[in-house]
């Protein structure tokens, strides 16, 4: 599998200007509107991905770390922390999925709480509408 550096044809210590120049040259060559080769579209996508990774200093540092076998080059989750030296540390105990209540009584309690909250919300809305609709509560304008 080619690395991003090999895809763009630059060295691992290439400056951003060199990366930008290589990207523009290859993008002109492999753009699907210009190159009608069936594989040109896939090559162009690979070139774009390589450029987006290498032009961003943080993404490039993570990619270089992954190439050395110290991490992953994929997208990072919201519960990751980054140390100043570039290493990624996962925060334990957090996830997107919440824990469901274990017993049926707990589940019933959650359902009841949500239902009562909805009823209270509707009750407050009705009271608000009634307070505006009653003629005795309107302000009188004195001229």
Q: What is the predicted pLDDT for the residue at 91?
A: 47
Whether 111 has a pLDDT exceeding 70, the answer reads yes
Q: What is the pTM of this model?
A: 0.49
Angle at 96 between CA 95 and CA 102, to 5 degrees: 80
Of residues 105 and 88, more confidently modeled: 105
pLDDT at 132: 85
**C-alpha span between 12 and 68 (Å, rounded):** 12
Q: What is the pLDDT of residues 9-68, one digit of tens each?
A: 999 999 999 999 999 999 999 998 888 888 888 899 999 999 999 999 999 999 998 888
b/e burial code for range 95-112 (CB count within 10 A of at least 16 → b): eeeeeeeeeeeeeeeeee
């Amino acid at each position: 599998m080619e690395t991003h550096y090999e895809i763009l044809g630059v060295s691992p210590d290439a400056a951003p200007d060199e990366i930008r120049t290589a990207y523009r040259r290859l993008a002109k060559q492999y753009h699907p509107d210009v190159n009608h080769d069936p594989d040109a579209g896939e090559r162009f996508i690979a070139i774009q991905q390589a450029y987006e990774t290498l032009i961003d200093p943080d993404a490039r540092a993570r990619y270089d770390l992954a190439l050395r076998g110290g991490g992953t080059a994929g997208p990072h989750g919201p519960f990751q922390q980054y140390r100043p030296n570039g290493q990624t540390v996962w925060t334990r105990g957090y996830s997107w999925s919440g824990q469901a209540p274990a017993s049926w009584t707990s589940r019933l309690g959650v359902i009841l709480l949500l239902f009562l909250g909805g009823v209270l919300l509707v009750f407050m809305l009705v009271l608000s509408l009634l307070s505006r609709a009653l003629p005795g509560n309107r302000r009188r304008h004195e001229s």
